Structure 1
Amino acid sequence: LPPSAVGDCFADILFPRIPDDPRATLFSDYIVSTYIDEFSEFPPAIWASDNIKGRTTNACESFHFHFSKYFNCPHPNIFVFIEAADEEMKKSTLKIRESEKPQLWQDQRG
Protein backbone atom coordinates (compact mmCIF):
# COMPACT_ATOMS: atom_id res chain seq x y z
CA LEU A 1 0.00 0.00 0.00
CA PRO A 2 1.57 3.34 -0.95
CA PRO A 3 2.01 5.81 1.91
CA SER A 4 -0.41 8.27 0.29
CA ALA A 5 -3.23 5.69 0.44
CA VAL A 6 -2.87 4.64 4.09
CA GLY A 7 -5.19 7.32 5.48
CA ASP A 8 -7.93 6.55 2.95
CA CYS A 9 -7.58 2.83 3.58
CA PHE A 10 -7.94 3.35 7.32
CA ALA A 11 -10.95 5.64 6.86
CA ASP A 12 -12.71 3.48 4.26
CA ILE A 13 -11.93 -0.05 5.42
CA LEU A 14 -10.88 -0.13 9.07
CA PHE A 15 -12.68 2.82 10.65
CA PRO A 16 -16.21 1.49 9.89
CA ARG A 17 -15.31 -1.77 11.64
CA ILE A 18 -14.22 -0.17 14.93
CA PRO A 19 -16.57 -1.28 17.72
CA ASP A 20 -18.75 1.32 19.41
CA ASP A 21 -16.67 1.26 22.57
CA PRO A 22 -14.80 4.19 24.14
CA ARG A 23 -11.67 2.04 24.51
CA ALA A 24 -11.71 1.14 20.82
CA THR A 25 -12.20 4.80 19.90
CA LEU A 26 -9.30 5.80 22.13
CA PHE A 27 -7.09 3.13 20.54
CA SER A 28 -8.16 4.18 17.04
CA ASP A 29 -7.31 7.80 17.82
CA TYR A 30 -3.90 6.67 19.07
CA ILE A 31 -3.25 4.71 15.85
CA VAL A 32 -4.20 7.71 13.71
CA SER A 33 -2.15 10.23 15.69
CA THR A 34 0.89 7.93 15.92
CA TYR A 35 0.96 6.13 12.55
CA ILE A 36 -1.57 7.52 10.06
CA ASP A 37 -1.43 11.33 10.17
CA GLU A 38 1.13 12.95 7.88
CA PHE A 39 2.87 14.66 10.81
CA SER A 40 2.58 11.76 13.26
CA GLU A 41 5.54 10.29 15.11
CA PHE A 42 5.77 7.39 12.63
CA PRO A 43 4.05 8.60 9.44
CA PRO A 44 3.20 6.20 6.61
CA ALA A 45 6.19 7.46 4.61
CA ILE A 46 8.43 5.64 7.11
CA TRP A 47 6.73 2.24 7.17
CA ALA A 48 4.35 1.89 4.23
CA SER A 49 5.59 0.92 0.81
CA ASP A 50 4.12 -0.50 -2.34
CA ASN A 51 7.48 -0.90 -4.02
CA ILE A 52 9.52 -3.30 -1.90
CA LYS A 53 11.41 -6.36 -3.02
CA GLY A 54 10.84 -8.31 0.19
CA ARG A 55 7.49 -9.59 1.29
CA THR A 56 7.53 -7.60 4.53
CA THR A 57 8.69 -4.22 5.80
CA ASN A 58 9.35 -5.76 9.20
CA ALA A 59 13.02 -6.73 9.59
CA CYS A 60 12.28 -9.27 12.32
CA GLU A 61 9.67 -11.05 10.22
CA SER A 62 12.05 -11.05 7.27
CA PHE A 63 14.87 -12.55 9.35
CA HIS A 64 12.58 -15.22 10.80
CA PHE A 65 11.28 -16.15 7.35
CA HIS A 66 14.80 -16.64 5.96
CA PHE A 67 16.20 -18.27 9.10
CA SER A 68 13.37 -20.81 9.27
CA LYS A 69 14.39 -22.12 5.83
CA TYR A 70 17.33 -23.87 7.54
CA PHE A 71 14.95 -26.21 9.34
CA ASN A 72 12.52 -28.89 8.24
CA CYS A 73 10.67 -29.12 11.57
CA PRO A 74 9.34 -26.66 14.16
CA HIS A 75 11.74 -27.81 16.92
CA PRO A 76 15.13 -28.66 15.40
CA ASN A 77 17.97 -30.42 17.17
CA ILE A 78 20.12 -27.93 19.11
CA PHE A 79 23.16 -28.73 16.98
CA VAL A 80 21.23 -28.04 13.77
CA PHE A 81 20.05 -24.76 15.27
CA ILE A 82 23.59 -23.75 16.30
CA GLU A 83 24.91 -24.58 12.84
CA ALA A 84 22.21 -22.42 11.23
CA ALA A 85 22.86 -19.56 13.66
CA ASP A 86 26.59 -19.79 12.93
CA GLU A 87 25.91 -19.65 9.19
CA GLU A 88 23.74 -16.55 9.62
CA MET A 89 26.40 -14.93 11.80
CA LYS A 90 29.01 -15.52 9.09
CA LYS A 91 26.75 -13.98 6.45
CA SER A 92 26.06 -10.95 8.64
CA THR A 93 29.73 -10.49 9.47
CA LEU A 94 30.62 -10.61 5.79
CA LYS A 95 27.95 -8.02 4.93
CA ILE A 96 29.18 -5.72 7.70
CA ARG A 97 32.80 -6.01 6.59
CA GLU A 98 31.87 -5.37 2.97
CA SER A 99 29.91 -2.26 3.94
CA GLU A 100 32.87 -0.92 5.95
CA LYS A 101 35.35 -1.24 3.08
CA PRO A 102 36.19 1.99 1.29
CA GLN A 103 34.56 2.07 -2.10
CA LEU A 104 37.17 2.37 -4.83
CA TRP A 105 35.48 3.41 -8.02
CA GLN A 106 37.52 3.26 -11.18
CA ASP A 107 36.50 4.65 -14.51
CA GLN A 108 36.34 1.61 -16.79
CA ARG A 109 35.74 3.65 -19.95
CA GLY A 110 39.46 4.19 -20.58
Structure 2
Amino acid sequence: CESYAKCFNILKTECFKLNLCCSPEYIFADFELSNHLGALKVLLKDVFSIWGKHGGVTFKIWDYRDQTEIGLFLKNIFGLPLLNQEDVENCIIEDFISIMPKHEKLNEFMDYIIENYIDSGAKFPISMWAEMNSSSERTTNVCESFHSKYNSLFYTHHPDIYTFLEILKKIQIDTKIAIRTATQTTKKPKGSTCKKITYIEDNIKQFKNNKISRFDFVKRMAFKHQPI
Protein backbone atom coordinates (compact mmCIF):
# COMPACT_ATOMS: atom_id res chain seq x y z
CA CYS A 1 0.00 0.00 0.00
CA GLU A 2 2.72 2.49 0.99
CA SER A 3 4.73 1.88 -2.20
CA TYR A 4 1.69 2.59 -4.37
CA ALA A 5 0.78 5.61 -2.23
CA LYS A 6 4.28 7.05 -2.76
CA CYS A 7 3.94 6.56 -6.53
CA PHE A 8 0.58 8.34 -6.60
CA ASN A 9 1.99 11.18 -4.48
CA ILE A 10 4.87 11.62 -6.92
CA LEU A 11 2.37 11.69 -9.78
CA LYS A 12 0.33 14.40 -8.04
CA THR A 13 3.48 16.44 -7.35
CA GLU A 14 4.65 16.27 -10.97
CA CYS A 15 1.19 17.27 -12.20
CA PHE A 16 1.21 20.22 -9.80
CA LYS A 17 4.56 21.37 -11.23
CA LEU A 18 2.94 21.47 -14.67
CA ASN A 19 -0.11 23.34 -13.34
CA LEU A 20 -2.24 20.25 -13.88
CA CYS A 21 -4.81 18.79 -11.52
CA CYS A 22 -4.37 15.07 -10.86
CA SER A 23 -7.98 14.25 -10.06
CA PRO A 24 -9.21 11.30 -12.18
CA GLU A 25 -12.92 10.52 -11.99
CA TYR A 26 -12.23 6.78 -12.08
CA ILE A 27 -9.14 4.66 -11.61
CA PHE A 28 -8.96 1.33 -13.45
CA ALA A 29 -6.75 -1.23 -11.71
CA ASP A 30 -6.17 -4.94 -11.50
CA PHE A 31 -7.27 -6.98 -8.47
CA GLU A 32 -4.36 -6.08 -6.21
CA LEU A 33 -5.57 -4.81 -2.85
CA SER A 34 -2.46 -2.73 -2.06
CA ASN A 35 -2.92 -0.88 -5.36
CA HIS A 36 -6.51 -0.03 -4.46
CA LEU A 37 -5.62 1.09 -0.94
CA GLY A 38 -2.80 3.29 -2.22
CA ALA A 39 -5.09 4.96 -4.76
CA LEU A 40 -7.84 5.52 -2.20
CA LYS A 41 -5.38 6.89 0.35
CA VAL A 42 -3.84 9.48 -2.00
CA LEU A 43 -6.43 10.17 -4.70
CA LEU A 44 -9.62 9.37 -2.75
CA LYS A 45 -11.40 8.14 -5.87
CA ASP A 46 -13.44 5.12 -6.86
CA VAL A 47 -11.30 2.26 -8.10
CA PHE A 48 -12.81 0.07 -10.80
CA SER A 49 -11.19 -3.34 -11.24
CA ILE A 50 -10.79 -5.62 -14.20
CA TRP A 51 -12.53 -8.98 -13.70
CA GLY A 52 -11.67 -10.93 -16.86
CA LYS A 53 -8.10 -12.17 -16.54
CA HIS A 54 -8.24 -12.35 -12.75
CA GLY A 55 -11.32 -14.53 -13.06
CA GLY A 56 -9.48 -16.76 -15.49
CA VAL A 57 -6.76 -17.37 -12.91
CA THR A 58 -9.35 -18.01 -10.21
CA PHE A 59 -10.95 -20.69 -12.38
CA LYS A 60 -7.73 -22.71 -12.71
CA ILE A 61 -9.33 -25.58 -10.74
CA TRP A 62 -11.13 -26.42 -14.00
CA ASP A 63 -10.77 -25.22 -17.54
CA TYR A 64 -13.80 -22.97 -18.09
CA ARG A 65 -13.39 -23.59 -21.83
CA ASP A 66 -14.37 -27.23 -21.38
CA GLN A 67 -17.79 -28.04 -22.81
CA THR A 68 -18.72 -29.88 -19.62
CA GLU A 69 -21.49 -29.02 -17.18
CA ILE A 70 -18.98 -27.43 -14.79
CA GLY A 71 -17.09 -25.70 -17.60
CA LEU A 72 -20.26 -24.09 -18.97
CA PHE A 73 -21.33 -23.07 -15.46
CA LEU A 74 -17.99 -21.32 -14.85
CA LYS A 75 -18.04 -19.68 -18.27
CA ASN A 76 -21.32 -17.94 -17.49
CA ILE A 77 -19.82 -16.21 -14.45
CA PHE A 78 -17.80 -14.00 -16.80
CA GLY A 79 -21.04 -12.20 -17.66
CA LEU A 80 -21.59 -10.88 -14.13
CA PRO A 81 -19.47 -7.68 -14.52
CA LEU A 82 -21.91 -6.46 -17.20
CA LEU A 83 -24.90 -6.53 -14.83
CA ASN A 84 -26.21 -3.60 -12.84
CA GLN A 85 -24.67 -3.69 -9.38
CA GLU A 86 -28.03 -4.21 -7.66
CA ASP A 87 -28.71 -7.31 -9.80
CA VAL A 88 -25.48 -9.21 -9.16
CA GLU A 89 -26.27 -10.76 -5.76
CA ASN A 90 -29.74 -11.89 -6.84
CA CYS A 91 -28.29 -13.37 -10.01
CA ILE A 92 -25.78 -15.41 -8.00
CA ILE A 93 -28.42 -16.71 -5.60
CA GLU A 94 -31.40 -17.18 -7.92
CA ASP A 95 -29.73 -18.06 -11.23
CA PHE A 96 -26.34 -19.63 -10.48
CA ILE A 97 -26.81 -21.41 -7.16
CA SER A 98 -30.09 -22.94 -8.34
CA ILE A 99 -28.39 -24.72 -11.29
CA MET A 100 -24.93 -25.29 -9.80
CA PRO A 101 -23.56 -28.79 -10.50
CA LYS A 102 -22.93 -30.85 -7.38
CA HIS A 103 -19.22 -30.88 -6.64
CA GLU A 104 -17.34 -30.26 -3.40
CA LYS A 105 -14.66 -28.10 -5.05
CA LEU A 106 -17.29 -26.08 -6.88
CA ASN A 107 -19.03 -25.40 -3.57
CA GLU A 108 -15.74 -24.11 -2.17
CA PHE A 109 -15.22 -21.98 -5.27
CA MET A 110 -18.64 -20.34 -5.03
CA ASP A 111 -18.10 -19.69 -1.31
CA TYR A 112 -14.84 -17.96 -2.26
CA ILE A 113 -16.58 -15.83 -4.91
CA ILE A 114 -19.35 -14.78 -2.52
CA GLU A 115 -16.95 -14.03 0.34
CA ASN A 116 -14.48 -12.00 -1.74
CA TYR A 117 -16.68 -10.38 -4.41
CA ILE A 118 -20.34 -10.41 -3.38
CA ASP A 119 -20.79 -9.97 0.39
CA SER A 120 -21.09 -6.46 1.82
CA GLY A 121 -17.72 -6.84 3.55
CA ALA A 122 -15.93 -8.35 0.53
CA LYS A 123 -12.36 -7.35 -0.34
CA PHE A 124 -13.53 -6.50 -3.84
CA PRO A 125 -17.19 -5.39 -3.48
CA ILE A 126 -19.64 -5.40 -6.37
CA SER A 127 -19.35 -1.62 -6.77
CA MET A 128 -15.71 -2.11 -7.72
CA TRP A 129 -16.20 -4.39 -10.74
CA ALA A 130 -19.82 -4.46 -11.97
CA GLU A 131 -21.36 -1.92 -14.32
CA MET A 132 -23.86 -2.28 -17.14
CA ASN A 133 -22.26 -0.49 -20.07
CA SER A 134 -20.56 -1.32 -23.34
CA SER A 135 -17.20 0.23 -22.47
CA SER A 136 -14.19 -1.55 -23.91
CA GLU A 137 -12.04 -0.31 -20.97
CA ARG A 138 -12.22 -3.65 -19.20
CA THR A 139 -8.73 -5.04 -19.70
CA THR A 140 -5.21 -4.34 -18.50
CA ASN A 141 -3.79 -4.78 -22.01
CA VAL A 142 -2.30 -1.28 -22.11
CA CYS A 143 -0.39 -1.83 -18.86
CA GLU A 144 0.79 -5.25 -19.97
CA SER A 145 1.93 -3.84 -23.31
CA PHE A 146 3.97 -1.18 -21.51
CA HIS A 147 5.58 -3.73 -19.20
CA SER A 148 6.38 -6.02 -22.12
CA LYS A 149 8.09 -3.21 -24.03
CA TYR A 150 9.88 -2.01 -20.89
CA ASN A 151 11.24 -5.47 -20.10
CA SER A 152 12.40 -6.01 -23.69
CA LEU A 153 14.78 -3.04 -23.39
CA PHE A 154 16.85 -4.78 -20.72
CA TYR A 155 19.34 -7.50 -21.61
CA THR A 156 20.27 -8.44 -18.06
CA HIS A 157 18.39 -8.82 -14.78
CA HIS A 158 20.82 -6.41 -13.05
CA PRO A 159 21.73 -3.55 -15.43
CA ASP A 160 24.13 -0.83 -14.31
CA ILE A 161 22.63 2.48 -13.21
CA TYR A 162 23.67 4.33 -16.39
CA THR A 163 21.92 1.84 -18.66
CA PHE A 164 18.87 1.92 -16.42
CA LEU A 165 18.65 5.73 -16.55
CA GLU A 166 19.07 5.83 -20.34
CA ILE A 167 16.22 3.37 -20.76
CA LEU A 168 14.01 5.44 -18.44
CA LYS A 169 14.77 8.54 -20.53
CA LYS A 170 13.82 6.68 -23.72
CA ILE A 171 10.58 5.47 -22.16
CA GLN A 172 9.80 9.02 -21.04
CA ILE A 173 10.34 10.40 -24.56
CA ASP A 174 8.15 7.70 -26.11
CA THR A 175 5.45 8.35 -23.51
CA LYS A 176 5.43 12.11 -24.17
CA ILE A 177 5.12 11.48 -27.91
CA ALA A 178 2.23 9.06 -27.32
CA ILE A 179 0.42 11.57 -25.07
CA ARG A 180 0.91 14.40 -27.57
CA THR A 181 -0.36 12.22 -30.42
CA ALA A 182 -3.39 11.11 -28.39
CA THR A 183 -4.44 14.72 -27.75
CA GLN A 184 -4.15 15.64 -31.43
CA THR A 185 -5.84 12.67 -33.06
CA THR A 186 -8.90 10.52 -32.39
CA LYS A 187 -8.15 6.83 -32.48
CA LYS A 188 -10.93 4.76 -33.99
CA PRO A 189 -11.61 1.39 -32.36
CA LYS A 190 -10.89 -1.75 -34.36
CA GLY A 191 -13.67 -3.41 -36.32
CA SER A 192 -13.82 -6.33 -33.89
CA THR A 193 -14.10 -3.91 -30.96
CA CYS A 194 -16.92 -2.01 -32.67
CA LYS A 195 -18.81 -5.26 -33.27
CA LYS A 196 -18.36 -6.27 -29.63
CA ILE A 197 -19.63 -2.90 -28.39
CA THR A 198 -22.64 -3.07 -30.72
CA TYR A 199 -23.41 -6.61 -29.55
CA ILE A 200 -23.29 -5.58 -25.88
CA GLU A 201 -25.40 -2.46 -26.46
CA ASP A 202 -28.02 -4.47 -28.34
CA ASN A 203 -28.31 -7.02 -25.53
CA ILE A 204 -28.44 -4.31 -22.86
CA LYS A 205 -31.36 -2.79 -24.75
CA GLN A 206 -33.12 -6.18 -24.99
CA PHE A 207 -32.62 -6.80 -21.27
CA LYS A 208 -33.93 -3.36 -20.28
CA ASN A 209 -36.97 -3.90 -22.52
CA ASN A 210 -37.61 -7.30 -20.84
CA LYS A 211 -37.08 -9.18 -24.09
CA ILE A 212 -34.48 -11.46 -22.50
CA SER A 213 -34.14 -12.67 -18.92
CA ARG A 214 -31.39 -11.62 -16.55
CA PHE A 215 -29.65 -14.98 -16.81
CA ASP A 216 -29.90 -15.03 -20.62
CA PHE A 217 -28.26 -11.60 -20.62
CA VAL A 218 -25.45 -12.84 -18.36
CA LYS A 219 -24.85 -15.89 -20.57
CA ARG A 220 -24.69 -13.74 -23.69
CA MET A 221 -22.29 -11.32 -22.04
CA ALA A 222 -20.11 -14.20 -20.84
CA PHE A 223 -19.67 -15.22 -24.47
CA LYS A 224 -18.05 -11.83 -25.21
CA HIS A 225 -16.28 -11.25 -21.90
CA GLN A 226 -13.87 -14.14 -21.39
CA PRO A 227 -10.11 -13.90 -20.83
CA ILE A 228 -7.82 -15.17 -23.52
Q: Larger relative CO (CA 8 A, sep 6+): 1 or 2? A: 2
Normalised by the size of structure 1, how large is the TM-score? 0.49
Normalised by the size of structure 2, how large is the TM-score? 0.27
Computing the radius of gyration from Cα coordinates, the structure with the larger value is: 1
